[in-house]
Amino acid sequence: MLPVFGQAPTEPETTHEGADACTDDCCSENTADAVAVAPRTREANPQAHRGRVPRDGFARTVVRVEGMDCASCAATVEKRVGQLPGMHRAVVNFAAGRLDAEHELDLDLQEIEKAVRDAGYGVGSTQEVEMTPFWRTPRAVSVLVSALLFALGLGLGVTGAPEVLRVGAYLAAIAVGGVPIFRAALAGLRARHLDMNVLMSAATVGAVGIGQWAEAASVVVLFAAGNALQVYAIDRTRGAVRALAGLAPDEVLVRRSGAENVVAAGEVAVGETVIVRPGERLALDGEVLEGRTTVDESPVTGESTPVEKGPGDSVYSGSLNGPGGVMVRALREAGDSTLQRITRLVEDAQASKAPAEQFVDRFSRLYTPLVVAAAVVLAVVPPLLGGQFDTWFYRGLALLIIACPCALVISTPVTVVSGIGAASRRGILIKGGSALEAAGRLEALAFDKTGTLTEGRPILARVVALAERCDESEALGLAAALERRSEHPLAHAILSAGAEQAVDGLPPVANFRSVPGRGAEGDVSGRSYLIGSPRLFEERGISLVTAREALAEVEREGETPVILGGEGGPLAVFGLADAVRPDARTTLEELRAAGVKELVMLTGDAEAPARRIARELGVGYRAQLLPEQKVEAVRELVSEHGDVGMVGDGVNDAPALAVSSVGFAMGAAGTDVALETADVALMQDDLPKLAEAVVLSRAAERIIRQNVVVSIAIKGLFVLLAPFGLVALWLAVLADMGTSITVTLNGLRLFRKGSV
């Protein structure tokens, strides 16, 4: 069973056939203006389920709404459901196709579902069932039958058949294809919404009234076909996002009291031991206790290469286990797994309005009533002044069809839905339309250094031999032998480099002793050696005169010095530095190619190491910054460049991430703070994902502009042509629905390809 996102699954529901009645409420007012409906930010409640969950005296119900093909369609359902007695809040998430309702405990679920159907929409099942092929759905069948009847009417007209047969064919086409439209129009009128169904119904009735049967049938057939194609395209995107949660199995094998039992995933408590067999998917987030395997984590992180897992490693719900069986200790309940949280956040993000969408909403609220008024004037005034009624009434009907900015309204949200969905499949969580647009307009990016541009671990950058009797290779071998027992990160860097060069192995060390905070000492082949900071040698009274030049060079390069020596003086100086990520330079080049003009590194490190990293990567830098100084630096970049992003770990850099135009959190998988606070969360600690996010966002921004410009241009052209009789009803419908389908498919390119 597929759980409602953020909720535990319950009994399956019956799928209803009302999905073929779509109300394309493109002209409705903004959802925020709905009476008795209060949009809100839905809280993540893993214990809530479909039905009645008391919260603050109210029950919460989640219902799948089918048949929505426009972002504004949500307003019709919200208003209709919001009018129910005892309803507190009703919020429809268009992107997810979901109604969240809070209501009195005595309000029946059946009443809510009936209100959804009365609004002209279908009620879907929360259970994951096999999808019916599109061509076999009631919507597709009715459209096909209506089109065939319309074609029959045209054929009868060409052959000169009696008018009664011709009119009968057209009337049948209108009835078959138009019943859902007329039913939705009545629902819109009851909700006081002048939506597309109302306008199309008025145009159809008006055409019939003046004897234009073929025109009336063409309006119904073209509109029904266009709606069906839009719903099909958008439902595919919704289904792909919902499928994320369906990756987690419903049942798991749990070890309890020495016995192994198969139980529902929702019944597993934190701390229990789950047995994951080869080839199974993980149902919960957890930590490997026993066994080794490889795990495909692509649903969570977007990483296509399986990751090796062993005791102590974290695993995520929805991941596919490889050839090894493992025992996993549950760290979260099923409803609160990383996969479930990602799915909820993606759905909520897709529902948020982008700035372009807010502009379109304002535009449509002015455009629609003005054009409807113009259509009424065009149909009424000229006949009063002596014009032919049929001619001017027909032109008014054509203008009435053009009055709904359907293509314009859907142009932005469908792109946001597909863009965020495409990003989530790649392990990039974009938190809403505003973040998507902001990332697409970035002019500058600021980076934290440690763990973002660098690996956050030291490597051996240089070896300078100071004595003739000890070359670089021998010095490195001695140093690695002495550091073999040390736990210090600098010691590990030297040991790693020395072990690679030692063909015959490292020499044994006797009388080893660690000097806390300074270094270590020991005997190798009967000789005593010291290794550590310059302070260790100064405290032992060993002169560093011969090492001054090497130490100065190491300091200039921003490296940390480590000295190897003995009672006779220093033998070698090692320079250790933070390792630059192997893919950092390539990622920065891709960002520049994408149009990000300014790349700046912000770090609390000292001047010298910051300068070295910046020079190696070719970026600007600001060093020795406190957290509040990072915030000020980001503000300065925003004032200078406008749209500025900040890349960090999502926790330490939270203040700087907050003041940027869009904050990118690295490696957010399983990190609560990063998942909840970042504008863009890169689930895997993979820097190239940053470039992918920016490129994808830029593509989305470009497509949004294309869609808006095309929609306004076509609408404007037909508004100008209609009063002169240059627009037939069928052409007006074809232009409107054709533009809607075009912008829909243009936006869905992001989801199909991941980028354009």
Give 671-705 pLDDT, tens digit per residue. 666 666 678 888 888 889 999 999 999 999 999 89
pLDDT band at 619 (very low <50, low <70, confident <90, very high): very high
pLDDT in tens, 148-177: 999 999 899 888 889 899 999 999 999 998
pLDDT band at 57 (very low <50, low <70, confident <90, very high): low
Q: Which of 748, 699, 736 is nearest to 225 (CA)?
A: 736
pLDDT given for residue 50 in this prediction: 38
In this structure, which topology does domain 18-135 adopt according to CATH?
Alpha-Beta Plaits (3.30.70)
Comma-separated ranges of CATH 3.30.70.100 domains in the chain: 18-135
Judged against a pLDDT cut of 90, whether residue 593 lies above it is answered with yes
d(CA 420, CA 407): 20
Q: In what order do the strands lie in the sheet with 122-124?
A: 87-93, 98-103, 59-66, 122-124
Judged against a pLDDT cut of 50, whether residue 315 lies above it is answered with yes
Comma-separated ranges of CATH 2.70.150.10 domains in the chain: 251-336
Q: What is the DSSP letter of 625?
A: -
* CA distances (Å), origin 533, targets 351, 490, 517: 56, 11, 9
d(CA 574, CA 562): 5
What is the pLDDT averaged over residues 272-300?
88
- List CB contacts of 69: < 8 A, sequence separation 6 or more: 22, 24, 227, 230, 231, 234, 410
d(CA 418, CA 422): 6
pLDDT band at 586 (very low <50, low <70, confident <90, very high): very high
Q: Beta strand 662-666 with 644-648: parallel, antiparallel or unpaired?
A: parallel
Extended strands (E) in 649-736: 662-666, 680-682
pLDDT given for residue 442 in this prediction: 94
* CA distances (Å), origin 696, targets 421, 690, 752: 11, 10, 12
CATH number of 251-336: 2.70.150.10
Comma-separated ranges of CATH 3.40.50.1000 domains in the chain: 427-453+582-699
What is the pLDDT averaged over residues 738-753?
80
- List CB contacts of 213: < 8 A, sequence separation 6 or more: 153, 166, 167, 170, 171, 207
What is the pLDDT averaged over residues 720-731?
89
pLDDT band at 46 (very low <50, low <70, confident <90, very high): very low
Residue with tokens 């390119």: 749
d(CA 120, CA 73): 10
pLDDT given for residue 675 in this prediction: 65
pLDDT given for residue 501 in this prediction: 67
CATH number of 455-580: 3.40.1110.10
Comma-separated ranges of CATH 3.40.1110.10 domains in the chain: 455-580
d(CA 515, CA 169): 98
Q: What is the CA radius of gyration of the chain?
A: 33
d(CA 663, CA 682): 11
State the Cα angle at 551 between 545 and 552, rounded to 5°.
105
Tokens of 164: 């009664």
Q: Which of 31, 29, 103 is nearest to 63 (CA)?
A: 103
Give 687's strand partners: none
pLDDT in tens, 358-416: 677 677 777 778 888 888 899 999 999 888 998 999 999 888 888 777 777 777 877 88
What is the pLDDT averaged over residues 20-48?
35
- List CB contacts of 503: < 8 A, sequence separation 6 or more: none
In this structure, which topology does domain 427-453+582-699 adopt according to CATH?
Rossmann fold (3.40.50)
pLDDT given for residue 365 in this prediction: 72
Active site residue 25: no
pLDDT band at 29 (very low <50, low <70, confident <90, very high): very low
pLDDT given for residue 245 in this prediction: 59
25, 195, 296, 448: which is the annotated catalytic residue?
448
